[in-house]
């Protein structure tokens, strides 16, 4: 039976806090997919979807159209989607012209593990939960719904209603919703279903994952996470999703996406080909392989370096372009670092000082920064660049012995074509010294008390050996090793303000100590 599914996605998702600052709640990530993908996948391929849009509706629509080009979506704009006259019932009534047939109603945050029945009869869904107080509930007798109760009603014979319903008697349902006034607006589909109890409503149990609030969302993320899934840092304004054999990159910054797409053409065969894009997302086919951090050994790392050297194609600049490039490097290395350090002090209530680090006396950080020869530092090596070059952004396919670069930077100080190759080298080194995997497993410690910082972190032996190989390779190939290492220290200082506590403290201490050591070398 082909049927339609109504999914309301107009609400602001306030219960998810900062997670919905930049996206509709249906796009919050669970198991490397937006919640709405888990919902869509619950229904047969011939189902048609009536999607009610409101808050960040343009993003929800863009995602669905890119991720599911063969699915049928009917989009309905809900206005107003918040305020005194809004509500789930109002959202439903905005969709009624497209639902004059048996249909399924499904909340945009309801994930179930078994197939949904067709709406060839009236039905409602429920799940057994420890605490029913946050939910509307169903009173069930002999598999039939006998009463729909509002939140807060107590009783041993009640089950939590999970926001998934089949509506066969659609005419009676819509008549009830249209005549229900304020109660219908507030209660949504449960009000209309209450008027169908005399017609008979079957009750179906489901294994249910509720993603409607932050506490439940974290439980769902743990429960649905696949052991071999990529470990991706959660950001409120960016995301990477894996859907139907493709990868979709999202950013709240539309210029970021536009530049990423343009740069994919400049990088060419070294990165995946973008096959679709919108204002805030682009899509490419998923590349088979493993991140280099999982498979690296010294022979493989040496091949990666030689492969990358071909990628780092230098560019000859005229005098004016060279001066402009050096100014870009100066802003990127000196000015941005100083801004980020001040952000770190402000965010974590610290100040520049002469604290000791791991027992070694330190000058003030601004003294170290002032001692850098910034003309030397900004005299970079212009060429084709990646911009975030570390093992987690490089895939290796053993089958065809091929490297693929992922998550390339959108620009270098505003330039899409020319960046500093030294920055890529420093990013590579920074990932050899600090392993993302080990940090994610909390295999580090840092303590900052008064004027003393103590830190330690685990390292993989293979990465230590890769660092030695890189140092030798840089010298052999004519690169300036000291510049790479000073720049690596600046990267740690730069990113300290962007990471969580206490990892941020480790980055600051490591960056300051490394900067002092490198500047003291002849």
Burial of 14 (0-12, 13-18, 19+ CB in 10 A): exposed
pLDDT at 200: 97
Provide the token pair at 507: 């980055």
The mean predicted confidence, pLDDT, of the chain is: 95
For residue 259, the tally of other CB atoms under 10 A from its CB is 19
279-292 pLDDT, tens per residue?
A: 999 999 999 999 99
How much of the chain, in percent, has pLDDT values that exceed 70?
100
Contact 85, 185 (CB under 8 A): yes
Cα atoms in the 13 Å half-sphere on the side-chain side of 286: 16
- Dist. CA 434–CA 461, nearest whole Å: 12
Average pLDDT on 230-258 reads 90
- Dist. CA 348–CA 371, nearest whole Å: 25
Provide the token pair at 35: 């919640």
User: Which of the pair, 236 or 50, is modelled with greater confidence?
Assistant: 50
pLDDT surpassing 90 at residue 108: yes
Residue tagged 């209450």 (tokens)? 194
pLDDT surpassing 90 at residue 1: no
421-475 pLDDT, tens per residue?
A: 999 999 999 999 999 889 989 999 999 999 999 999 999 999 999 999 999 999 9
pLDDT at 234: 72
The pLDDT-based confidence of 15 (bands split at 50, 70, 90) is: confident
Q: Which residues pair with 405 in a beta bridge?
A: 394
Residue tagged 């994952």 (tokens)? 209
- 77 φ/ψ angles, rounded to the nearest 5 degrees: -85, 125
Contact 9, 26 (CB under 8 A): yes
Provide the token pair at 168: 């066969």
327-372 pLDDT, tens per residue?
A: 999 999 999 999 999 999 999 999 999 999 999 999 999 999 999 9
Element (H, E) at 117: none
- Tell me, letter by letter, the H, E, C secondary structure of 3-66: CEEEEEECCCCHHHHHHHCCCCHHHCEECCEEHHHHHHCCCCCCCEEEEEECCCHHHHHHHHHH
The pLDDT-based confidence of 374 (bands split at 50, 70, 90) is: very high
Element (H, E) at 423: helix 421-433
Average pLDDT on 500-514 reads 97
Give 253's DSSP letter.
Answer: -
pLDDT at 393: 94
pLDDT surpassing 90 at residue 410: yes
Helix axes of 336-348 and 481-495: crossing angle, nearest 10 degrees = 40
Contact 378, 334 (CB under 8 A): yes
- Dist. CA 419–CA 487, nearest whole Å: 14
Contact 106, 123 (CB under 8 A): no
**15-18 long-range contacts, CB within 8 A, separation 24+:** 15/212, 15/213, 15/214, 16/212, 16/213, 16/214, 16/217, 17/214, 18/236
Provide the token pair at 46: 């011939």
The pLDDT-based confidence of 179 (bands split at 50, 70, 90) is: very high
- Dist. CA 390–CA 477, nearest whole Å: 20
pLDDT at 371: 97
- 284 φ/ψ angles, rounded to the nearest 5 degrees: -140, 160
pLDDT at 83: 87
The pLDDT-based confidence of 517 (bands split at 50, 70, 90) is: very high
Among 99-108, 216-225, 231-240, the range with the most confident prediction by mean pLDDT is 99-108
Q: What is the DSSP string of 155-184?
A: -TTEEEEEEEEEES-HHHHHHHHHH-HHHH
- Dist. CA 29–CA 218, nearest whole Å: 10
Taken in order of first residue, the domains within the chain and their CATH numbers are: 4-224 (3.90.550.10), 247-286 (no CATH), 290-520 (3.90.1200)
- Dist. CA 151–CA 157, nearest whole Å: 14
- Dist. CA 455–CA 439, nearest whole Å: 13
pLDDT surpassing 80 at residue 522: no
Report the Cα–Cα distance between both ends of the chain, in Å, rounded.
77
- Alpha helices, H only, 180-318: 181-187, 189-194, 214-224, 254-267, 292-295, 298-311
Cα dihedral 76, 79, 83, 85 sign: negative
- Dist. CA 521–CA 489, nearest whole Å: 14
């Amino acid at each position: 039976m082909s049927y339609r599914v109504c999914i309301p996605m107009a609400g602001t998702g306030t219960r998810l806090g900062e997670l919905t600052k930049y996206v509709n709640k249906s796009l919050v990530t669970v198991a490397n997919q937006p919640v709405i993908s888990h919902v869509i996948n619950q229904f047969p391929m011939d189902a048609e979807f009536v999607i009610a849009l409101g808050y960040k509706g343009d993003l929800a629509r863009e995602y669905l159209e890119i991720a599911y080009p063969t699915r049928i979506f009917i989009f309905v704009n809900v206005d107003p989607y918040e305020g005194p006259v809004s509500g789930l019932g109002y959202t439903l009534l905005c969709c009624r012209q497209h639902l004059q047939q048996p249909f399924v109603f499904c909340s945009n945050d309801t994930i179930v593990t078994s197939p949904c029945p067709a709406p060839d009869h009236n039905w409602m869904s429920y799940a057994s939960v420890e605490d029913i107080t946050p939910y509307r509930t169903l009173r069930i007798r002999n598999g039939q719904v006998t009463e729909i109760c509002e939140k807060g009603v107590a009783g041993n014979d009640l089950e939590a209603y999970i926001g998934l319903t089949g509506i066969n008697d659609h005419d009676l349902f819509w008549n009830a919703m249209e005549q229900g006034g304020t109660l219908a607006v507030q209660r949504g589909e449960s009000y209309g279903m209450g008027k169908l109890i005399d017609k008979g409503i079957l009750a179906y149990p489901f294994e249910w994952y509720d993603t409607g609030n932050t506490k439940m969302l974290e439980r769902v993320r743990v429960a649905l996470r696949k052991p071999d899934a990529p470990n991706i840092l959660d950001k409120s304004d960016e995301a990477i999703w894996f859907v139907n054999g493709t990868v979709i990159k999202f950013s709240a910054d539309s210029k970021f996406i536009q530049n990423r797409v343009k740069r994919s053409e400049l990088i060419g065969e070294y990165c995946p080909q973008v096959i679709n894009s919108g204002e805030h997302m682009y899509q490419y086919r998923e590349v088979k392989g493993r991140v280099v951090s999982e498979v690296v050994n010294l022979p493989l790392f040496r091949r990666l370096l030689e492969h990358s050297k071909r990628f780092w194609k230098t560019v000859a600049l005229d005098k004016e372009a060279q001066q402009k490039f050096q100014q870009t490097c100066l802003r990127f290395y000196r000015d941005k670092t100083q801004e980020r350090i001040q952000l770190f002090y402000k965010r974590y209530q610290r100040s520049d000082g002469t604290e000791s680090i791991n027992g070694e006396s330190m000058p003030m950080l601004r003294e170290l920064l002032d001692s850098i020869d910034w003309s030397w530092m900004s005299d970079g090596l212009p060429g084709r660049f990646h911009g975030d070059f570390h093992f987690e952004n490089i895939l290796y396919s053993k089958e065809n012995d091929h490297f693929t670069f992922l998550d390339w930077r959108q620009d270098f100080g505003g330039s899409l074509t020319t960046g500093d190759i030294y920055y890529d080298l420093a990013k590579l080194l920074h990932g050899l010294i600090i392993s993302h995997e080990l940090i994610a497993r909390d295999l580090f410690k840092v303590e900052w008390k008064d004027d003393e910082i103590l830190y330690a972190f685990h390292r993989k032996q293979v990465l230590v050996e890769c660092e030695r190989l890189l140092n030798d390779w840089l010298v052999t190939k004519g690169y300036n090793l000291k510049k790479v290492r000073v720049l690596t220290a600046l990267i740690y200082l730069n990113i300290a303000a962007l990471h969580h506590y206490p990892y941020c403290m480790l980055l600051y201490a490591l960056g300051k100590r490394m900067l002092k050591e490198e500047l003291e070398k002849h």
